[in-house]
Amino acid sequence: MKTSNNIPDKPEKDEFGLDFIRKIIVEDIRTNKNEGRVHTRFPPEPNGWMHIGHAMAIYLSYSVAQEYNGLFNLRFDDTDPSKESMDYVEAIKEDVQWLGAEWEDRLYFASDYFEKLYEFAVALIKAGKAFICDLSVEEIREQRGTLTEPGVNSPYRNRSAEENFDLFKRMREGEFEDGSKVLRAKIDMTSPNLLMRDPIMYRIKRVSHYRTGTEWIIYPSYDFTHGESDAIEGITHSLCSLEFETHRPLYDWFIDELLALGTLKHKPRQIEFSRLNVTYTITSKRRLLELVKGEYVSGWDDPRMPTIAGMRKRGFPASAIRTFLGRVGVTKREKNIDVGLLEACVRDELDKEANRVLAVLNPLRVVITNYPEDQVEHLEIPNHPKDESRGTRKVPFSRVLYIEQEDFMEDPPKKFYRLTPGREVRLRNAYFITCTDVKKDESGKILEVHCTYDPNTRGGSSPDGRKVKATIHWLSRDHALKAEIRLYDRLFNRKDPSGLPDYNSDSLKSITGYVEPSLKEAKPATHYQFERVGYFFTDPEEFTKKKLVINRTITLRDTWARIKKQLPQPKKKKQKKKK
């Protein structure tokens, strides 16, 4: 089995433990179909940003090729120049590589095949399988019929092969206006599958293509291009999401007709799997575009967006996304995966990967009254308590500290164990302190808390064995660094959001917080756990030594689950006992 440095192999399983796609592949290998080869591809259209659903398609096609010693292609199906650009191509390449999929030297474009596709179309015209239609797109749509009524044949359907070939050549030469003629396949206007009712193969569109410029003014349709490109590249298993299931008869029809004519030599097999739907998430480009245009987000790569670029900028590790996709698995059945599973995978990965640092987001000043005013200690603190090989760092400790406001209450409820008047708590990796006084302004707002410390508890333990019920984190006020902290949260409030009405206006809060001085030497795109606070990521674009911009990747725990438990729950109906 071939291995990858990026996407890990799945464990070996017997045939009965495989998902339905892998069972098909195992059987194809057993029967020596396609000479036992496995060759997959990811074929995005370069007209937008890739999202979590595309991540599943990338992961599946690449990992299948890896598991069965196969090949993987990246191909851009770029047949609509009005919506495509090289910027999208580069962004998609970055996304695919970041996820861990490697195409090696197999980067292709459907536009590479424009001349060959034109030849395929000519072959179908000469065989009487395609014709030039003068109806407008609207008229074609009207004559297509419905699910219960058959379509109507075009009045141009019976043109001779010679006339169709002549018109098609003249279309390519620019003799006709945009929209005045199209090339249609001659299939069956009574087919129960509307896509088989003489679909459009070519249209005239005088738009410059980002790769071919003005060389072409006729462009093939996606359905005519997709399968033929797979066949040209020798793809064995064309893995698509379930919405392409109705396209499969058309996919096969084009390839079968060209095989019969001898213009193609290979037939790929299209296999559909269910789309990846995730709760509290939308993957509709149209609805996400509303957020971008309405400036509800900063762009397609906003860290709240479900795009691969957005997740990367927020600090989601690629390995966590791959783990999530592997756990979700592949089925034919539509499913809505709880976003909590993705977040749990992120937490698990960052727990191993992220060094710990001290940070205070909402500071409250603490003065240790019995600590020398001019003294500064540098306490040795482990970088990762679960991994000694990460070493330690020195963090300054002084008389005036910052703690989190939520870690102190003057009049606490019963189960509040953190700092209160008269109570002793532990400062993480430092000392035991006891609150002795509270200073307030004229309005009653707490300005600072006065405490005493026990110098015999350095490191956070007492020689006499006494216990404290809480440990809180801290920073030396005079050494703390200011940072812009961006607190990202879920973009939508509802489990099954419909769009703007469910937008979470609290999905981003930008605050000024404080971090320990070691982060002065931090680099962009570095993960940290802010102890007791969450997992954070130095912004890959804006973090510098002069401007500390840090994104919250995820909280330490699933706060949404806790909030949900606090909400009123519907009462369960009592079951009537059977007599």
Q: 370: domain CATH number?
A: 2.40.240.10
Between 571 and 434, where is the model more confident?
434
> Taking 80 as the threshold, does the pLDDT of residue 565 lie above it?
no
Name the residue with tokens 């762009």. 299
Chosen domain end from 247, 273, 299: 273
Q: What is the pLDDT of residues 165-186, one digit of tens each?
A: 999 999 999 999 999 999 999 9
Tally of structural domains, the chain: 3
Domain harbouring 30, CATH code: 3.40.50.620
List 273's β-bridge partners, or say none: 241
Q: Is the model's pLDDT at 3 over the cut of 50?
A: no
Asked whether residue 398 is assigned to any structural domain, the reply reads yes
Asked whether the CA dihedral 455, 456, 462, 466 is positive or negative, the reply is negative
Q: What is the per-residue pLDDT for 221? A: 97
Tokens 């592997």 map to which residue?
A: 326
pLDDT, tens digit, 9 for 90 and up, residues 37-74: 999 999 999 999 999 999 999 999 999 999 999 999 99
Among 284, 256, 283, 282, residue whose Cα is nearest residue 269: 256
Choosing from 10, 93, 157, 275, the catalytic residue is 275
Cα separation, 364 vs 341, whole angstroms: 35
Of 224, 250, 273, which closes a domain?
273
pLDDT greater than 70 at residue 546: yes
Query: Has residue 188 got a pLDDT over 50?
Result: yes
Q: Judge if 319 and 462 occupy the same domain.
A: no
In a domain, 217, yes or no: yes
Could you tell me if 107 and 136 lie in one domain?
yes
Q: Is residue 569 part of a domain?
A: no
Mean pLDDT calculated for residue range 237-260: 97
pLDDT of residue 558: 73
579 has pLDDT over 50: no
The confidence score (pLDDT) of residue 557 equals 84
DSSP assigned state of 471: E
Residue with the two structure tokens 């707002």: 445
61 and 187 housed in the same domain: yes
**Interval 6-47: pLDDT, tens:** 444 443 343 446 899 999 999 999 999 999 999 999 999 999
165 and 289 housed in the same domain: no
Q: Is 394 a catalytic residue?
A: no
Same domain, 239 and 201: yes
106 within a domain of the structure (yes/no): yes
For residues 381 and 425, membership in a common domain is answered with: yes
Q: Is 31 found in the same domain as 125?
A: yes
In angstroms, what CA-CA distances link 494 with 120, 167, 328, 346?
A: 49, 54, 21, 21
Same domain, 151 and 23: yes
Q: What is the pLDDT of residue 285?
A: 86
Q: Does the pLDDT of residue 130 top 90, yes or no?
A: yes
- Give the confidence band of 114 by pLDDT, cuts at 50, 70, 90: very high
570 assigned to some structural domain: no
Residue 4 has pLDDT above 50, yes or no: no
Distance CA 182, CA 324 (A): 44
Q: Which of 144, 285, 393, 458 is catalytic?
A: 285
Cβ atoms of residues 309 and 318 within 8 Å: no
Does residue 395 lie in a domain region?
Answer: yes
Instruction: Report yes or no: 121 and 263 within 8 Å, Cβ to Cβ.
Output: no
pLDDT of 576 higher than 70? no
266 plus 291 within the same structural domain? no
Domain boundary among 473, 496, 527: 473
Strand partners for 133? 182
Coil, helix or strand at residue 203 = strand
Residue-range definition of the domain harbouring residue 236: 15-273
Does residue 570 register a pLDDT over 50?
no
pLDDT at position 15: 40
One-letter amino acid at 24 equals I
Q: Tell me: do 371 and 396 sit in the same domain.
A: yes
* Residue 335: pLDDT band with limits 50, 70, 90: confident
If asked whether residues 384 and 260 sit together in one domain, one would say no
What pLDDT does 216 receive?
Answer: 97
> Would you say residue 73 lies in a domain?
yes
pLDDT at residue number 2? 41
Query: Is 105 inside any structural domain?
Result: yes
The mean predicted confidence, pLDDT, of the chain is 93
Q: Please compute the mean of the pLDDT values over residues 299-319 and round it to a whole number.
A: 96
Catalytic residue, chosen from 10, 37, 45, 205, is: 45
What confidence tens digit (pLDDT) does each residue in 134-150 have? Answer: 999 999 999 999 999 99
| CA dist list (Å): 316 to 5, 244, 341, 378, 538 | 19, 29, 13, 33, 12
Q: Do 303 and 371 share a structural domain? A: no
Distance CA 88, CA 94 (A): 10
45 a catalytic residue:
yes
